[in-house]
Amino acid sequence: MAETKCPVCGCETFYVKNPEDEYDLYEFQCRDGSIRFDSDVDASGSPSIDNGTETFCNGCNWHGGFGTLAPEKL
């Protein structure tokens, strides 16, 4: 399965915001059908991401539901 890319700029790195602290961000890439957070993110503290999770591109101003990027992955 190909890597997930931003539909606007092609960036492969995204982030989601902590719903309880909008300034707390979790960067990730989606490779081989799985979400891989940055190495500094504790696996037990990482947020769950589903098709409706608001996702932001790390390279441009695109954002939308994760499902619009990868509807077949979840």
Strand partners, 55: 64
Q: What number of other Cβ atoms are within 10 A of residue 6's Cβ? A: 20
Range of the domain at 64: 1-41+50-74
Q: What is the pLDDT of residues 24-51, one digit of tens each?
A: 899 999 877 788 888 777 767 778 888 8
Q: What is the mean pLDDT of residues 12-26?
A: 87
- Assess contact for 36 and 3: CB atoms under 8 A: no
Instruction: Tell me the C-alpha distance between 63 and 9, whole Å.
Output: 12
* pLDDT value at residue 13: 93
What is the pTM for the complete model shown?
0.81
Neighbours of 70 (CB within 10 A): 19
Q: Mean pLDDT across the chain, nearest whole number?
A: 83
Q: What is the pLDDT of residue 42?
A: 74
Count of structural domains, the chain: 1
Report residue 26 as tokens.
């979790």
pLDDT at 63: 94
